[in-house]
Structure 1
Amino acid sequence: MSRGFVKEDDQEEIPIVPPRADLPEGVINYVTQVGMDELLMEKQMLNDEREHLNISNEKERRIAVNYINAKLQLLNNRIATAKIVDLKMQPQNEIRFGALVTLKIGSDTKLQKYQIVGVDEADISKGKISFISPIARILTNKEVGGKAILKLATEDRVFEIIEILY
């Protein structure tokens, strides 16, 4: 039957689900083990939320379930495409995926620490930056004592590598 013959009250809103962190087409979805554990925990939380919805209105319940299912579909795709990187197998003297890097930035005397992680795990407030970020890209393959330069519109920001841990 054509949608033109359906009562307006029967039409459900299509849930608008915010996209997950950007992962460019063709880029491998690298994750740390911690990142994979977080994705799996998020999946469990969404499944639990769907199972324990406390909504008596049937239409509102269907909309809520559709929203959770849409989020789960995006999440399941990320989990299915994730490639866990074993940090013990990374070259310990070079910055690669998973490295926790201590940096001196420009003339700032306070040292900064960043870990290079997957796109879903990245959270600058926790010192975790995505492996596809400009900073991670310029730091990759550098060693302790090395410098990386990030060209900004008004200046060149110099990052000096102080320590690399995995």
Structure 2
Amino acid sequence: MSFRSLAVDTISEEQQVLINHMQSLSVVNPSQSHDPSIFNQAATQVRALLTKGNVQDALSRALEVANQLLIQPITQGQQGGGSEELVEKIALLINDVLSSFNREQGLPAVIKNLRDDEQILLLKFIYYGLARPAKFNCPVMLNWHEKTVQVAGVGGIVRVLSDRRSF
């Protein structure tokens, strides 16, 4: 068969079945990614953990919901990761968690307990907060930035700046 006689624009029935099957595997429920009840429930859990004094779990839960609502939809091919309002709500929740931690010497231990992707997501929210000083506590953000870079290394900054999946 000559390559010149191949019709590259046509899709056979077998190829169409395969394409449909692959698309059905990657379908995500779009209503789940923008459901406000998911955020509200997570925010309640985070605040409950903060009142108990469990900052480590509160930070992990806040970053988990940020990943669920903002990063995963982008990774799975959905349009955008959420509205600006949702991003700001999550950023304010993370700011509350960061502001409630008052033991500076314990910051590296808390950050080390986070997974690598959570550390990078934390840096993204720190930069988000630093870009909006009127709404966020910048001295706290700078302190967390310093400790996060100590733990994650300068590569964390590079990963944040080069990541195309911004929210």
Greater strand proportion: 1
Greater helix proportion: 2
Select the structure of larger CA radius of gyration. 1
Same fold (TM over 0.5): no
Normalised TM-score (structure 1): 0.28
Normalised TM-score (structure 2): 0.28
